[in-house]
Amino acid sequence: DTTMFAVSAEVKGLETMVNLLADVVLQPRLTDEELEMMRLSVRFELEDLQMRPDPEPLLTEMIHAAAYQDNTVGLPRFCPAENVEKIDQKLLHSFLRNYYTADRLVLAGVGVDHDQLVEHAKKYLL
C-alpha cells in the first residue's frame, strides 16, 4: 500500500513546504477527537464491506490468508473489528516510527531546483 501527501506552492516557499510536509508525515498531532473520527470511519468501512453485494474483496482476503499464512499478502488487509478500539496515539506513532522512515520515503518536486530539494530533504526528513 502507498500513502501520498502532496503540497503545491511557489518555488520560493520550498524549504517551508518541505519542513511542513516532514512535520505532517513524521510527527502528526493526533488528537483524541481525530482518533475517534478515524475509529468511526473504520467501523463504517467494515460494516459497508460486510453489506456489499460483491464478495470479491472478502474472498480475496480469505484466499490470500490461506495461501500465504501469516506472511506478506496473507496478513489482513482490513482491520479486524475487535482491533478498532485498540487504535490509539501510541500505536499509530509506533507504526509511523517503524514504516515512515527515510529509506521508505520518496520526495518529488516539479519545477524546483533538485539540489535545493535534496538539501531540504536532508535537513527535515533525515
Q: How far apart are CA 36 and CA 86, in angstroms?
A: 11
**Residue 50: predicted pLDDT:** 84
Please check whether residue 81 is in contact with residue 43, taking contact to mean a CB–CB distance below 8 angstroms: yes
> pLDDT, tens digit, for every residue of 34-74?
999 999 999 999 999 888 878 888 888 889 999 998 888 88
Q: How many CA atoms lie within 13 A of 61 on its CB side?
A: 12
> pLDDT, tens digit, for every residue of 81-116?
999 999 999 999 999 999 998 889 999 999 999 999
**Residue 78: predicted pLDDT:** 85
pTM over 0.75: no
